[in-house]
Homo-oligomer: A and B are copies of this chain.
Amino acid sequence: MGNYVVGIDLGGTKIYTALANLNGEIVAEEIEPTTKDETKLLHQLGNMVKGVIAKSAVPKEKVLGIGIGAPGTVDHRTGTLITAPNLPWQNYPLKINLQALLRLPVEVDNDANLAALGEYRYGAGRGHKDMVYVTVSTGIGAGIIIDGQLYRGSSGSAGELGHTIVEPGGPRCNCGRRGCLEVMASGTAIGERARQLVAEGFGQEILKLAQGNIEAINAKTVGEAFLAGDPEAKGILNEVAFYLGIGLANVVNLLNPSLIVLGGGVINIGEPFLELIREELAEKALPQPYKDLTVKKAVLGSKTGVMGAIALALERFS
């Protein structure tokens, strides 16, 4: 009957926990909203692991270990969450504490890294050796696969594509720098630009889609207006595609991957927006690395993170 691993996608709003066999096939899963209490969160994770094992009727001895993906800065060698703005934890030794609670080996990594690993092993990345996964969502992050391995960099923080600078002297980013890709092209940036437009008396189509509530305008609203043909939404997304084109072309010219996988809510606006990004990338990448490049949408959807956590656990414990 073989052995199993647990994968956990620990997000700021929900936790996706799954038990999978050695082929990465999920045999039991649970999704719960994330507890905001810093002491209860560890127990929630413990209970969810016990829950999926119980649900599957797999004996606990057959579970080899647990992989966890967490948003923020993770020291994967020690399994410590260093900073995680959307979780109640800071400098939190997640690996050690969860191991002690469950008496199972635990491995922790950054969510973008694990999303890359998930798409690489089980999704859009199959058959490629050098791949970069880019998520454009509330923030912008990347995970880099080189020669079939997750590349973490010398201190585990590689992949901060969102904080590469694409507009010198541009608006201030959350990280304190100016003109980072994240402040120019993330979902947050799209929403802000649209609300500003409306505050200045423009963007009436966008406002209508938000039921007249300026505070309800976000990237999704802009995406809907864009798909409905609104020129102001198109203006915003043209600019976003321009900067995403720079960020992606810089990755292509520097790393020459065979594949870029795009995921996250902003990418899900749809094919016409993806087409804008492709056009900008085609214009800004060098011909030599571009001619062998494939650009695909992520295919695992809401399972990308948990599949990456499963892949991590399988790499380390099987």
Contact = CB atoms under 8 A, between A and B. Distances in A.
Interface of A: 73, 82, 128-130, 142, 144, 146, 151-161, 163-168, 175, 177, 242-243, 246, 249-251, 253-258, 283-284, 286, 288-289, 291-292
Given A163-B286, A177-B284, A284-B177, A255 B129 contact: no
A153 B257 contact: yes
A195 B254 CA distance: 31
B256 A155 contact: yes
Contacts of A255: 144, 151, 153, 158
Given A284-B165, A286-B163, A154 B249 contact: no
Given A177-B284, A284-B177, A157 B289 contact: yes
Contacts of A256: 152-160
A257 B157 contact: no
A163 B146 CA distance: 21
A184 to B, nearest CB: 10
Given A130-B154, A154-B256, A156-B256, A166 B168 contact: yes
Given A166-B165, A250-B250, A151 B146 contact: yes
Contacts of A284: 165, 177
A144 B168 CA distance: 25
